[in-house]
Amino acid sequence: MDMRSSIEDTRKGFEASFATGDFYNRQTQDSQHLEKILQFLQVSDGMRILDLGCGSGYLAFPMAKNNPDIEVIGLDIVSDTLRANRSRANKEGIKNLTFVSYDGIDFPFEDDSFDLVVTRYALHHFPDIGHSVGEMSRVLKEGGKLFISDPCPNECDTERFVDDYMRLKKDGHIKFYTKDEWKSLCGKCDLNYVDGFESCIRFPKKKNTAYGYEEVLAKHNKAVIESYDLTETDAELFITERVNNLLFRKNKMTGVLMNAEKAGTEDIEDLVKLRLSYLLEDHGSLDPQDHAAIKMELPGYFQAHLNKDLFVFVIRDGQNIVSCAFFLIVEKPMSPAFINGRTGMVLNVYTCPSYRRKGCAKRIMEELLSEAKKMEISVIELKATEDGYPLYRSVGFMEDDSEYHRMKWKNR
């Protein structure tokens, strides 16, 4: 299933859930959990807060009511519920609370525009979680915080019974994530773990929305199922799910690292070192002969191409280059895909280890894309690693849905 189909399933599933009223509230509401979250967040005057996947506003309304000198924006894909939320806010005279609809992919907000992003019982429905975490990081100010509250699998559930069980209802459930998985996902987007607590939820499910549950129960280990305290009544199923409540902070950049610029011929020695460092990390190791040949040939290549058809964007700490990205201009015969024939390729995005997760690569990519627009480049291609994928999505790169097979020929 593609991403937009998954989002549409989620939207339809939640339209149906919200329409059930009291049963949906039984599934998601917990006054003790809500109170603990509100105390944990330590909201202060002047904050601008985004509630992602706000649903019926269970978190957004009390935050706004309790703190009249903040601004709260609820973001969701279910338009009918957002209309009901707006009506309620208007009736209750809550002036600092608004609700916004979006496509489930890209947030309709500027960079660095929120002090806090909160999301409760929503992220397990997001089909491209790396991109969504990148979007949360993008809209957060430096030093801003992200609060995630979402169920997690039990430690013994290595085959993810709980995910199979949750998918019985066709509302777009993707996956529950462990605490370590959240730390990894957020760490890739400049978000460092700060604090957290664990809670639990007793989750009811109507049997008439859980077609095939007998097969799911038969498929999985009985001890794993029992760890969720599964109970069955005539009309409903109940399981107990552990919930991660995690707080992350967006890294602050030091002033010296903020400026991205083009390298010059005086930087060639450093560019050779950075290229070799990138290749060693990318390949794991280099044949000594290959290493020597590359080191010998690179200076001449840079002399011939730098700032002609190759541009290297760098960030410095003092005189030292600590992060770089190579941008190769390739002129091609015109086609509908690149109408002026000017295309680009991004290579060698590399940041020295001690400077990673500080926003260097994102700052460089933003500068590179700004320059590419000035150069009237029609299209830019790159190959993304798993680690780099959320970054590139956050600055506008999309999947290449080409019908062709990528192939290559090597003369060796």
Taking residue 69's Cβ as centre, other Cβ atoms within 10 Å add up to 10
Let me know whether 267 and 139 are in one domain: no
- % the chain with pLDDT above 90: 62
pLDDT for 402 equals 72
> Collapsing DSSP states into helix, strand and coil, what is residue 388?
coil
pLDDT, tens digit, 9 for 90 and up, residues 189-218: 889 999 999 999 998 888 887 888 999 999
pLDDT, tens digit, 9 for 90 and up, residues 15-73: 766 665 554 555 566 889 999 999 999 899 999 999 999 999 999 999 999 999 999 99
Q: Is 181 exposed, middle or buried (0-12, 13-18, 19+ CB in 10 A)?
A: middle
CATH number at residue 12: 3.40.50.150
Place of tokens 């002609």: 308
Global pTM value = 0.65
Let me know whether 378 and 360 are in one domain: yes
Higher pLDDT, 411 or 238: 238
Let me know whether 70 and 145 are in one domain: yes
Residue 303 within a domain: yes
Contact 191, 146 (CB under 8 A): yes
Let me know whether 190 and 208 are in one domain: yes
The enclosing H or E element of 299 equals: helix 288-305
Taking residue 333's Cβ as centre, other Cβ atoms within 10 Å add up to 6
- End-to-end C-alpha distance for the chain, whole angstroms: 40
Q: How far is CA 177 from the centre of its chain?
A: 13
The enclosing H or E element of 74 equals: strand 71-76
Q: Give me the domain span that covers residue 216.
A: 3-250
Contact 94, 64 (CB under 8 A): yes
pLDDT for 256 equals 46
Residue 411 within a domain: no
Contact 97, 64 (CB under 8 A): yes
Q: What amino acid occupies position 78? A: V
Let me know whether 68 and 146 are in one domain: yes
Let me know whether 244 and 273 are in one domain: no
Taking residue 367's Cβ as centre, other Cβ atoms within 10 Å add up to 19
Q: How many domains does the chain have?
A: 2
CATH number at residue 267: 3.40.630.30
Residue 407 within a domain: no
Let me know whether 239 and 289 are in one domain: no
Mean pLDDT score, 347-368: 87
Question: What token pair was written down for 244?
Answer: 């991660």
Let me know whether 93 and 199 are in one domain: yes
Q: Measured on CA atoms in the order 217, 221, 223, 229, is the torsion positive or negative? A: negative
Mean pLDDT score, 185-190: 85
pLDDT for 254 equals 53
Residue 409 within a domain: no
Let me know whether 82 and 64 are in one domain: yes
Q: For 12-16, 241-245, 258-262, 335-339, which range has the lowest pLDDT when averaged over its residues?
A: 12-16
Does position 405 have pLDDT exceeding 80, yes or no?
Answer: no
Residue 123 within a domain: yes
Q: Measured on CA atoms in the order 184, 190, 193, 198, is the torsion positive or negative? A: negative
Higher pLDDT, 359 or 183: 183
Nearest by Cα to 176 from 240, 228, 106, 244: 244
pLDDT for 399 equals 85
- % the chain with pLDDT above 70: 93
Residue 399 within a domain: no
Does position 87 have pLDDT exceeding 90, yes or no?
Answer: yes
pLDDT for 71 equals 97
Does position 1 have pLDDT exceeding 70, yes or no?
Answer: no
Let me know whether 128 and 162 are in one domain: yes
Nearest by Cα to 203 from 34, 23, 52: 23
Nearest by Cα to 81 from 107, 101, 55: 55
Let me know whether 111 and 91 are in one domain: yes
pLDDT, tens digit, 9 for 90 and up, residues 98-157: 999 998 888 999 888 999 999 999 999 998 898 899 899 989 998 999 999 999 999 999
Let me know whether 339 and 219 are in one domain: no
